[in-house]
Amino acid sequence: MFTILGTAVIIGAIYFLIKRKEARMVLFAAGLLMAIIAGKPMAAFTAFTERMSTPGLIEAILSVMGFAFVMKYTKCDQHLVKLVAGGLKKFNLILIPGATLATFAINIALPSAAGAAAAVGAILIPVLMGAGVSPAIAASAVMAGTFGSNLNVGSAHNPFIAEIAKVTAMDVVKVHAFAHVLSVVIIAISLTVIAKLLKETKGYEYIPEGEQDNSKLNLLYALMPVIPLVILVLGSTVFPKILMGVPAAMLIGVILTLIVTRSNPSEVTKSFFDGMGKAYGDIMGIIISAAVFVGGMNAIGLVEAFTDAMVSSPSVAKIAATFGPFLLAVITGSGDAATFAFNEAVTPFAEKFGVSQINMGSIALLGGALGRTMSPIAGAAIVCAGIAKVNPIELTKRNAPGIIIATIVSMFILL
């Protein structure tokens, strides 16, 4: 009986997520309801308390978002985009795949899909359209690269998986890095082929609207967003003696940015802590709510039933880990809720299915990210479509084949 009631609650939660209700509210309410049905209401509150103070998650996620806010305030993010766009203009033949790969690379340093889509799209989409590329392909090329943030060590999911597997976030990134890079290459090639088949690679006449941003590129400013990543990568590979945590790398990046840009120290400090607050409210909020949701599932016995069913058929577990978060992300426009909930509930038991916790967490992460990249209602898709003045569904049509292929290939690589 409890299993049936719990399943009904989950179906209701999915319904409300599809209706784009507040994800944190839906997850928390569903978890609390399941705990109450099971007669264990404190299970939901205990999960809330435990997750809201998880040290490894908080320090990485908050510092990364604080750094991102500083990059936005100092406009270093815009200079990075101009640097990349300037290089792309010289290689017209690879403009479409180059835009996808460039967005992917920039999104690693600026770990927000919608934020990267706005910063990159405002420059690259007009560049592509000015070269004769159709607006739909131009917007699709930028949208297709907006899952690069998963290679940022401090991006929310990496510390989350690391906490489950009891490893470092860099260890997690090393496991799924190849699958991520191969995925974006597959998607970029697929989109280029589709553009050729649809004859949308040239012939479009672009007439710029409004005032254009002709400010001069500052190379030092452009390098600031990648400083923390360079420190973290070098510290984990070439110079292990300088190995440091994500917060230290982000703070060093902020200090160097302050020196290079000569910005107002008070405003830079305010931006950093505003970003930290935003990260706790938005990202940690979903993680905490997902913990409550899974706490309710545990209380009502659904996690045990689910894992028992998956243990008897490991192939089902692998498909569920990949396409569960993927499909929900396509439908809801957000991969976070599904991915966090799946990793909280199932990934700790990954070894029962013959898969390591890092690999299962990574495929759930990539599946959710790719599903969101294909969704016509994702925030990044709406931003890109708005800049190009096309319907977001046009982006989905062009990106879907490559994303589906990349998802299947990634499943075989990681699982």
pLDDT one-digit tens code per residue, 285-329: 999 999 999 999 999 998 888 888 777 777 888 899 999 999 989
According to the model, what pLDDT value does residue 213 have? Answer: 62
Enclosing H/E stretch for 372 = helix 357-374
Distances from the Cα of 296 to the Cα of 46, 145, 342, 348, 357, angstroms = 10, 35, 13, 16, 22
According to the model, what pLDDT value does residue 238 have? Answer: 66
Convert the pLDDT of each residue in 326-338 to its tens digit: 998 998 888 888 8
Other C-beta atoms closer than 10 Å to the C-beta of 90 total 8
According to the model, what pLDDT value does residue 211 have? Answer: 54
According to the model, what pLDDT value does residue 239 have? Answer: 67
Whether the predicted pLDDT of 210 surpasses 60: no
- Span 383-398, mean pLDDT? 95
- Span 387-405, mean pLDDT? 96
Whether the predicted pLDDT of 90 surpasses 80: no
CB neighbours of 238 closer than 8 A, spacing ≥ 6? none
Whether the predicted pLDDT of 242 surpasses 80: no
CB neighbours of 217 closer than 8 A, spacing ≥ 6? 79, 82, 83, 86
Q: What is the DSSP string of 281-310?
A: IIIIHHHHHHHHHHHHHHHHTHHHHHHHHH
Convert the pLDDT of each residue in 358-382 to its tens digit: 999 999 999 999 999 999 999 999 9
